[in-house]
Amino acid sequence: MAVGIKGLSSLRPVHGVRLGTVMAGIRKADRRDLVIIQCDEGTAGAAVFTQSQFAAPPVLLAKAHLGLAAPRALIINTGYANAATGEQGLEDARACCQAVASHLNCAVEEVLPFSTGVIGERIPVDRIVSAVPAALAAASAEGWNEAASGIMTTDTVPKGVSVTLTAGGREVTITGIAKGSGMIHPNMATMLSFVATDVAAEAAVLQAALKRVVATTFNAITVDGDTSTNDALVLLATGRSDVLLESSGPVWDAFVEALERVCRTLAQAIVRDGEGATKFVEIQVTGGRSAEECRAVADTIALSPLVKTALFASDPNWGRILAAIGRAPIAPLDTRDIVVMLGDACVFRNGAVDPGYSEEWGRRAFAGEEIHIRVDLGQGDASATVFTSDLSYEYVRINGSYRT
């Protein structure tokens, strides 16, 4: 079960957005596996996509369409990623977009496709196209919770959050959903996330806001060090609140803060639901010469299989943390400057184990579901934080049988 996630509360509608979720029989029977998100004309769109050189055809097509037109609809299927499928994969994704466009009487470029699931296999276009009318008919402004379930793959819980803020004297809503559990690592993770707001914004301003928050949220998580071919984070702005978002000022400040809360909650929920995860771990590195240096140290700790298995066993084997710091790809350090904390317990200082540290303290720090590791490099003022999970037997079982 996901660490610290009690369940999904009712998500708030966003004026101008409707979601329909159906069972299309894409890969497995009796499960919701097709979602169509519709938005009003005039909606602005922004997105961040996987940096994988094997970016899937739906990613390529969504990027191209977003560069040509404002979005009217998103079509999302689970079961098959439609990745490593070549030109045929592009044609398949385009056919799904065309089916939606025909029913909505809009241009095919106004429809963005997204897929998640097994790599290397085509999507069943006929089944998806046949289910499009039902998904459109099921569209509802209250359809967020069903959509959160409809985009899941190995996730054990649906993930979503709503935040409201007051800007320009009016209420603004931001609601988002996400899927992701394994193959999680920047840039980005194996994840799809769809966020909508009723603020009004030009696409360039919306993209700037998304770029501002993604570095400390979706690009600050890792479960297993693997980056997907299909990652996408989409932000839609319908403008129905009549609050204008510009690139600076009090509305910008309030909106970006709220958007970061939404993205942080969704990103951390992905880690909390990491395949087989039993621990949620925050790794904070301070005192670096640059943020990049701190991030390199945090990533090296977070990606170490030895650290992750010690976390699973609740074994405060702090030597594994030091070993990870020692091999991080950064400029040489004086190890006497480094301080390592497990929770509130100082374990390493002045080049040796802290005199006040005890194994009992360490075990207590690693015993809970949420663990905080802090490293001070003692070199400067920069910092970085990464969120990760442990590595359990269940991770191997889930991924060993993923296709069966």
Q: Which residues are catalytic?
A: 190
Contact by Cβ (8 Å): 220, 186: yes
CA angle 219, 199, 75 (to 5 degrees): 60
Of 148, 76, 150, 84, the C-alpha closest to 113 is 76
User: Residue type for 4, please?
Assistant: G
Distance between CA 187 and CA 247 in Å, rounded? 25
Q: How far apart are CA 221 and CA 386, in angstroms?
A: 6
Measuring CA to CA, how many Å separate 400 from each of 1, 137, 190, 278? 19, 38, 17, 18
Cβ 219 vs Cβ 260: under 8 Å: no
The H-or-E segment that residue 384 falls in is: strand 382-389
DSSP symbols for 2-25: -TT---PPPPPP-TTEEEEEE---
Torsion angle (degrees, nearest 10) of CA 328, 330, 331, 337: -60
∠ at Cα 93 (74, 123), nearest 5°? 105
In this structure, the strands spanning 170-179 and 17-22 are unpaired
Of 349, 343, 393, residue with least CA distance to 372:
343
Residues 6+ apart with CB under 8 A from 76: 34, 35, 36, 37, 113, 114, 115, 116, 150, 151, 192, 194
- In one-letter notation, the amino acid at residue 104 is L
Tokens 């942080």 sit on residue: 264
Residue owning tokens 């317990």: 345
- The set of residues, in sequence order, having a beta carbon less than 8 Å from that of 36 and lying 6+ positions away, is 19, 20, 73, 74, 75, 76, 100, 132, 135, 136, 139
At 354, list the tokens. Answer: 């802290």
